[in-house]
């Protein structure tokens, strides 16, 4: 599972196996270790009506409605999108997407980066 953070936007990209594990009800967790601490992020299913995110103690937790998983996991639907209200007038955008293979893999990527990805629709 890959995480991209930009401004008030979180984007999680999942490979095929991760989508399958999530659809089976498993929580997905990634962790990056730093000297003296670690940062982690997770994605799990919930009974909420919307996708929600929280951040505490170096951990981003995203939950998504259980009811939308079958349509997303078993179809060509790529992106699930939600906006979460924040204090004031700002919002947090949350996107969960299927991860596609690269059209032109470059030397900057690990060879394993495209393993277990979805075929790129433009390929």
Q: What is the DSSP string of 52-121?
A: EEEEETTEEEEEEEGGGHHHHHTSS--EEEEEEE-STT-EEEEEEEEPBPPSS--TTS-GGGGTTPBPPT
Query: Is 116 part of a structural domain of the chain?
Result: no
**What's 65's domain CATH number?**
3.30.1360
Residue 123 placed within a domain:
no
Residues across the chain: 123
Domain of residue 85 covers: 2-100
Q: What angle do CA 94, 99, 103 make, to 5 degrees?
A: 130
User: Would residue 121 count as lying in a domain?
Assistant: no
For residue 122, being part of any structural domain is answered with: no
Q: What is the pLDDT of residue 122?
A: 63
Task: Tell me how many domains the chain contains.
Answer: 1
* CA neighbor of 49 nearest in space, from 36, 38, 63: 63
Read off the pLDDT of residues 14-51 as tens digits, 9 standing for 90 and up. Answer: 998 999 999 999 999 999 999 999 999 999 999 999 99
The model's pLDDT over 47-88, given as tens digits with 9 standing for 90+, comes to 999 999 999 999 999 999 999 999 899 888 889 999 999 999
Q: Please tell me whether the overall predicted TM-score, pTM, comes out greater than 0.85 for this model.
A: no
Domain contains 24 = yes
Taking the C-alpha atoms of residue 59 and residue 39, their distance in angstroms, rounded to an integer, is 6
């Amino acid at each position: 599972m890959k995480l991209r953070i930009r401004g008030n936007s979180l984007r999680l990209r999942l490979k095929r196996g991760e989508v399958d594990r999530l659809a089976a009800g498993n929580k997905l967790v990634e962790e990056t270790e730093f000297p003296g601490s670690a940062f982690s992020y997770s994605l799990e299913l919930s009974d909420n009506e919307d996708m929600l995110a929280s951040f505490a103690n170096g951990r981003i937790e995203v939950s998504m409605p259980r009811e939308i998983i079958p349509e997303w996991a078993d179809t060509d639907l790529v992106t699930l999108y939600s906006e979460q209200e924040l204090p004031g007038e700002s919002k947090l955008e949350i996107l969960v997407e299927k991860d596609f293979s690269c059209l032109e893999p470059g030397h900057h990527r690990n060879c394993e980066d495209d393993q277990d990805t979805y075929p790129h629709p433009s390929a």
